[in-house]
Structure 1
Amino acid sequence: MEASSHDGFREFVAMRSTALLRLAVLLTGGDRHAAEDLLQIALMKAYGRWARIEQHEAYVRQVMYRQQVNRWRLRRHRAETTVPVLPESGTGADTGADSELRIALWAALGRLSKRQRAVVVLRYFEDLPEAEVAALLGCPVGTVRSTAHRSLAKLRTLVPELGPEGPAGRVQPLTCTPKEAQR
């Protein structure tokens, strides 16, 4: 790899690794070690092709999605691993209510099935269109729609604050609530 490409890769990793790790943690269901492995694999694959890649972050995210989907397919029979402590977010200060909601949302995401969690993360956290989520997960668009509907309903049941009326009766947008996890 040329020195300029190497420097560009190092800058990319320095600037984007926190956000990419946060995505990896969501994709792995809160398993920090698996998330670090997932990100490391994606970055290794990108490093070898760095000079030929036009959109670096899109490429790394795509590798992460596909790698995690392959892990899910290979480990269908294994039990899901949950962690009792949430990873550090690296963002600024939170209010107490935001922190409590985020903790409840993390716990609720951990109780979703792997497919449900993947659909919620890709559809709402990554804000991908249904067709792209379907292509990434290798299923029909209708399956993505029904899974998203069931997943949001389950999240609302597990975390009532995510419903149409949140704390103190204020109306909250339903489709944006999983994005609360990225704050």
Structure 2
Amino acid sequence: MKQRDLEAYQDFATRRGSALFRSACLLTSGDTHLAEDLVQETLGRMYTAWGKKRCIDNPSAYAQTVLVRAYLTHRRRRSSSERPTVSLPDQAAQTADSTLRITLLQALADLPRLDRAVLVLRYLEDLSVEQTAEVLRTSSSAVRTRSSRALAKLRGQLGSSGFAELTAQ
């Protein structure tokens, strides 16, 4: 890789790394260790494709697509069903914001993986229906259907007052 391509890649990784990590955390329902692994895998794949710039028109969108596909691939692996214990012996005091965040992450964790991916891409990453469909390799109508059903499930889990509190922030 040429020096100027390497510098461009490093600049991209520095600028987009935190946004990719945020998306990965939401996709993994707060599992920061898995999120770090997914971001690392994404940036590794981006590095190998970076020299072939003609295949990357929009690096941010390409990275988001790679991240979601890495997440979906991980979820298909047998070892992905292993989970650490939920309760820890010593926990820090929680504020209202962290309680709300934990509630949202738990509600997202209860959704099927594709529903969760649709909600993260549509509402937290602010992608259009068409962009989300492209990332997930599905149709726009499937994204709209999944989005509608997933939001209904979230409303059912959180109740109308909890859902209104989440959408107000």
TM-score by length of 1: 0.70
Identity %: 38
Paired residue for 1:106?
Answer: 105
2-structure distance, mates of 1:104, 1:159: 8
Which residue matches 2:16?
A: 16
The structural deviation recorded for 1:57 is 2.0
CA 1:58–1:145 in 2, change beyond 3 Å: closer, same or farther?
closer
Given the superposition, is the C-alpha separation of residues 59 and 131 from structure 1 closer, same or farther in structure 2, using an over 3 Å criterion?
Answer: closer
Count of residues paired in the alignment = 159
RMSD of aligned Cα (Å) = 3.0
Asked if 1:64 is matched to 2:51, the reply is no
Given that 2:29 and 2:106 are in contact with CA atoms closer than 8 Å, whether structure 1 keeps it comes out as no
- Please identify runs of 4+ aligned residues in structure 1 that moved more than 6 A: none
Gaps of 5+ in 2: 88-94
CA–CA distance in 2 between the matches of 1:137 and 1:59?
12
* Residue pairs, 1:88-167, within 5 angstroms: 96-160=95-159, 161-164=161-164, 166=165
Whether contact under 8 Å (1:27, 1:68) holds in the other structure is yes
User: Structure 1 residues 83 and 62, CA, compared in 2 at 3 Å: closer, same or farther?
Assistant: farther
Corresponding residue for 1:88?
none
Structure 1 distance, partners of 2:7, 2:80, is: 40
Q: In the alignment, is the contact (CA less than 8 A) between 2:20 and 2:67 conserved in 1? A: no
Structure 1 unaligned residues grouped into runs of 5+ = 86-95, 167-171
Distance 1:103 1:71 in 2: 23
When you count helix as a share of all residues, which structure comes out higher?
2
Give per-residue Cα distances to partners, 1:57-80, cap 9 Å, x unaligned: 2221121122223334x3489647
Does 1:27 find its partner at 2:30? Answer: no
- Once the 2 structures are TM-superposed, how far is the Cα of residue 120 of structure 1 from its aligned partner? 0.8
Q: How far apart are residue 55 of structure 1 and its match?
A: 2.9
1:30 aligned partner, one-letter code? G
Q: How does the TM-score come out when normalised to structure 2? A: 0.75
1:122-178 deviation line (CA, Å, top 9, x unaligned): 1111122223323333333333222212211221232234434x4xxxxx7xxxx3x
Equivalent residues of 2:72, 2:113 under 8 A apart: no
Report the Cα offset of residue 7 of structure 1: 2.1
